[in-house]
Amino acid sequence: MLQVENLNYWYQSKSEPLYEDLNLTFDEGKLYGILGSSGSGKTTFLSLIAGLDTPKSGDIYYEGKSLKKIGLTRYRNECVSIVFQSYNLLPYLSALDNITAALEITHSKKANRKEYALEMLQKVGIDAEMAKKNVQHLSGGQQQRVAIVRAMCCDARLVVADEPTGNLDEQNSLEIIRLFKQLAHEQNKCVIVITHEKEIAEQCDTVLELKSKKMHVIKSS
Ligand SMILES: Nc1ncnc2c1ncn2[C@@H]1O[C@H](COP(=O)(O)OP(=O)(O)OP(=O)(O)O)[C@@H](O)[C@H]1O
């Protein structure tokens, strides 16, 4: 689904490049974990594959088409969903409205958006009453579940997440990773999760590590 070809990136303020000629393939139906020490460039990599930034050289292809050709705005709207560590929900809206707003913005083809969103929220333990509460009144774990349901409901087939369990306790973290697995295995999406937690990485189908400017496969299923 996603192909990274000869990717190079550097920040002007740094003397060293972050990566040197990364070549990678990410397939649909799989959950990927990306590990790496602090400062190795994980978040930067995610911003490149999410179309939030552009490589200095090399190309990224989504279903065979370069992101440049698709156009970054269209790519971000239609092809990729991003789950942030800090959830990035619209704070003054309910869980339900956060999801229906995302479906609206991304021009989702789903009919009965409200019923669908409620059904999906129910599946992760958020009932109709809770779904109507302002998200600021939900716990961190509940907010992250809403953010993941938002990614599940949208039609985008690529889901990228930056340390999505960073603010959660162990039980909530495992629940979140179960949802990501479901997204990959049941909805056939390609899910890429950045984490520094080995326990989370263990749950992934394929684990990559960013080290010495390269991405190494350290577990493959
Ligand atoms: N906008 C920026 N301008 C200059 N340097 C930056 C910028 N953003 C990040 N960096 C630097 O690039 C390197 C990689 O940053 P990045 O956030 O991608 O790493 P990371 O692996 O996600 O780190 P962490 O695990 O600590 O979140 C770091 O040395 C960081 O200081």
Residue whose CA lies nearest to ligand 1 atom number 8: 44
Instruction: Give me ligand 1 centre to Cα 19, in Å.
Output: 12
Q: How far is CA 127 from CA 9, 118, 188, in A?
A: 44, 8, 26
Q: Tell whether 124 is covered by a domain.
A: yes
Instruction: Give me ligand 1 centre to Cα 39, in Å.
Output: 5
Can you tell me the distance from the alpha carbon of 96 to that of 39, in angstroms, rounded to the nearest whole number? 36
Residue whose CA lies nearest to ligand 1 atom number 28: 39
Same domain, 4 and 74: yes
Name the domain boundary from 130, 155, 180. 155
Residue whose CA lies nearest to ligand 1 atom number 13: 39
Same domain, 206 and 144: no
Q: How many domains in the chain? A: 2
Instruction: Give me ligand 1 centre to Cα 44, in Å.
Output: 6
Atom of ligand 1 nearest to the CA of 44: 18
Same domain, 19 and 49: yes
Atom of ligand 1 nearest to the CA of 210: 21
Residues with CB under 6 A from ligand 1: 11, 13-14, 18, 36, 38-44
Helix and strand counts by DSSP (H, E) for the chain: 9, 10
Name residue, tokens 């779904």: 131
Same domain, 128 and 190: no
Instruction: Give me ligand 1 centre to Cα 196, in Å.
Output: 14
Domain that holds residue 201: 1-79+157-221
Instruction: Give me ligand 1 centre to Cα 64, in Å.
Output: 29
Name the domain boundary from 155, 172, 193. 155
Q: pLDDT in tens for each of the 221 residues of the chain? A: 999 999 999 999 988 999 999 999 999 999 999 999 999 999 999 999 999 999 999 999 999 999 999 999 999 989 999 988 888 899 999 999 999 999 998 888 888 999 999 998 998 889 999 999 999 999 998 998 999 889 888 889 999 999 888 877 888 888 888 889 998 999 999 999 999 888 889 999 999 999 999 999 998 97
Of 69, 90, 91, 87, the C-alpha closest to 79 is 69
Residue whose CA lies nearest to ligand 1 atom number 2: 11
Residue whose CA lies nearest to ligand 1 atom number 16: 41
Instruction: Give me ligand 1 centre to Cα 43, in Å.
Output: 7
Looking at residue 132, what DSSP letter applies?
T
CATH number of residue 205's parent domain = 3.40.50.300
DSSP-derived 3-state class of residue 159: strand
Q: Which two tokens stand for residue 2?
A: 């996603």
Can you tell me the distance from the alpha carbon of 35 to that of 210, in angstroms, rounded to the nearest whole number? 6
Of 173, 148, 190, 152, the C-alpha closest to 50 is 190
Q: Which two tokens stand for residue 51?
A: 């179309």
Atom of ligand 1 nearest to the CA of 196: 25
Instruction: Give me ligand 1 centre to Cα 14, in Å.
Output: 10
Same domain, 68 and 167: yes
- For residue 169, the model assigns a pLDDT of 82
Can you tell me the distance from the alpha carbon of 101 to that of 182, in angstroms, rounded to the nearest whole number? 23
Q: Kindly list the strands in the beta sheet with 158-162, ordered across the sheet, starting from the edge strand earlier in the chain.
A: 80-83, 158-162, 190-194, 31-36, 206-211, 214-219
Name the domain boundary from 118, 133, 155. 155
CB atoms within 10 A of CB 80: 23
Same domain, 70 and 94: no
DSSP-derived 3-state class of residue 51: coil
- For residue 171, the model assigns a pLDDT of 83
